Structure 1
Amino acid sequence: MLYDVPHLRTVHHAVHQDAAPGMFMRAPGEFTGMFALETALDELAVAAGIDPVELRVRNEPEWDPETGKPFSTRNLVACLREGADLFGWGDRTPPGEHRDGEWCIGLGVASATYPNQHFVPNRAGIRYSGGRWTVELQASDIGTGAWTILPQIAADTLGVPVDLVDAEIGRTGLPWAIMAGGSVGTYDWGDAIVAAATKFRRKHGDSPEDGVHETAAGRLPRGARGYSRHSFGAHFAQVRVSTVTGEVRVDRMLGVFAAGRIINPRTARSQLIGGMTMGLSAALHEEGHLDERFGHVVNGDLAGYHVAAHADVVGLEAVTLEEHDPWFGRTGAKGIGELGIVGAPAAIGNAVFNASGTRLRDLPFTPDRLFAAWEGPSSG
Structure 2
Amino acid sequence: MTDMNKHVMDEAIGETRLDRNTQGLIGKGAPRYEGKLKVTGTAPYAYERLAEQDVAYGFIVPAKIARGTITSIDTSRAEAVPGVLKIITGDRITRAASQPGAPAAQTIDGQVFHYNQPVALVIADSFETARNAAGLVAVTYDETAGRFDIAARDTVREPGSSPMEPNNKRGDFEHAFAQAEVTFDETYTTPSYHAAAMEPHASTASWDGATLEVWTSCQLLESGIGQIAAGVGLDEDKVRVHSPYIGGGFGSKLGTSPDAVLAALGTMAIGKPVKVAMTRQNVFQATSRRGETVQRVRFGATKEGKITCFAHETDTTNSPGNGFFEPSGISSVFLYAGKDRMITHSLVETDVLMTSAVRAPGEATGMLATESALDEFAERFGIDPVEFRRMNEPEVNPMDDTPFSSRRLIECIDEGARRFGWSDRPTKPGSRREGEWLIGYGMSSASRLNQLQQSSAEIEMAPDGRATIRTAMTDIGTGTYTILQQICAEMLGLPLDRVDVVLGDTDLPASSGSGGSWGANSAGSSVYVASLALIRELADRIDADAETLTLKDGHAIFGNRQIPFSEILKGETISVTGTIEPGETADKTHQASYGAHFCEVGVNVVTGETRIRRLLTVGAAGRILNEKTATSQCYGGQIWGIGYALEEDLVIDKRNGLIVNHDLAEYHVPVHADVPALEVVLLEDRDPHASPLAGKGIGELAIAGVGASITNAIYNACGVRVRDYPATLDKVLAGLPDDYLTAA
The alignment's TM-score, normalised by the length of structure 2, stands at 0.49
Choose 1 or 2 for highest CA Rg.
2
Note if 1:3 corresponds to 2:336. yes
Aligned runs of 1:221-300 on 2, under 5 Å? 222-300=584-662
1:220–1:327: 8 Å Cα contact kept in structure 2?
no
For residues 236 and 136 of structure 1, the distance between their equivalents in structure 2, rounded to whole angstroms, comes to 41
Is 1:161 matched up with 2:495?
yes
Write out the 4+ residue segments of structure 1 that deviate beyond 6 Å after TM superposition.
Answer: none
Name the structure 1 match of 2:436: 102
Deviation at 1:256, TM superposition (A): 0.2
- Per the alignment, residue 528 of structure 2 pairs with 194
TM-superposed deviation, 1:126: 0.7
Q: Which has the higher contact order (CA 8 A, sep 6+)?
A: 1
Match of 2:394?
61
Among 359, 367, 376, the residue aligned to 1:43: 376
Superposed CA offset, 1:235-265 (max 9, x none)? 0000000000110000010000000000111
How far apart in 2 are the matches of 1:217 and 1:300? 42
The percentage of counterpart residues that share the same residue type is: 45
Counterparts of 2:517 and 2:472, CA distance in 1: 16
Report the alpha carbon displacement of residue 363 of structure 1 after superposing the two structures with TM: 1.6
The equivalent of 2:538 in structure 1 is 204
Name the residue aligned to 2:686.
324
Paired AA for residue 74 in structure 1: R
**Among 704, 709, 721, which residue is 1:342 paired with?**
704
CA RMSD of aligned residues (A): 1.5
Taking the aligned partners of 2:348 and 2:674, their CA distance within structure 1 comes to 37
- 1:12 is displaced (CA, Å) by 2.8
- Is 1:23 aligned to 2:385, yes or no? no
Give, as a single letter, the amino acid of the residue that structure 2 aligns with 1:68.
D
CA change 1:68–1:312 in 2 (3 A) is same
Task: Check the 8 A contact 1:191/1:219 in 2, yes or no.
Answer: no
Instruction: Give 1:44 deviation, angstroms.
Output: 0.3
Q: Tell me the residue number matched to 1:306.
A: 668
Query: Does the aligned pair in 2 maintain the 1:117–1:182 contact within 8 Å?
Result: yes
| Alpha-carbon spacing, 1:323–1:300, altered in 2? closer, same or farther (3 Å) | closer
Q: SS state of the match for residue 497, structure 2?
A: helix
* Pair 1:78 & 2:411 matched: yes
Could you say which residue in structure 2 is the equivalent of 1:135?
469
Looking at structure 2, the residues matched to 299 and 367 of structure 1 have their Cα atoms a distance apart, in angstroms, of 19
Q: Which amino acid aligns with 2:391?
A: R
Would the aligned equivalents of 1:191 and 1:330 in 2 still touch at CA under 8 Å? yes
CA contact (8 A) 1:276 1:340 kept: yes
Distance 2:583 2:340 in 1: 33
Tell me the residue number matched to 1:356. Answer: 718
Structure 2: unaligned runs, 5 residues or longer = 1-333, 540-555, 557-564, 739-744
Residue identity in the other structure for 1:202? R
Q: Give the structure with the higher percent helix.
A: 1
Provide the C-alpha distance between the structure 2 equivalents of 1:68 and 1:201, rounded to a whole number of angstroms. Answer: 40
CA deviations over 1:122-162 (Å, ceiling 9, x no partner): 11111012431011111111100111111101111112222
- Alignment deviations for residues 312-334 of structure 1 (CA, whole Å, 9 cap, x no partner): 21121110001111112211111
Which digits, 9 at most, give the CA deviation of each residue in 1:260-286, with x for residues without a partner?
A: 000111111000111111111221211
Q: Once the two structures are superposed, what CA deviation does each residue of 1:324-362 show, in whole Å capped at 9, x if it has no partner?
A: 111122111110110110000000000000000110012
Of 154-163 and 265-274, the range deviating more from structure 2: 154-163
Residue 513 of structure 2: aligned partner: 179
C-alpha separation between the residues in 1 aligned to 2:498 and 2:408?
A: 36
TM-superposed CA distance for 1:300, in Å, is 4.6
Could you tell me which of 729, 732, 743 is aligned with 1:367? 729
Return closer, same or farther for 1:300/1:186 CA change in 2, 3 Å cut-off. closer
The normalised TM-score by structure 1 is: 0.95
Distance 2:711 2:337 in 1: 23
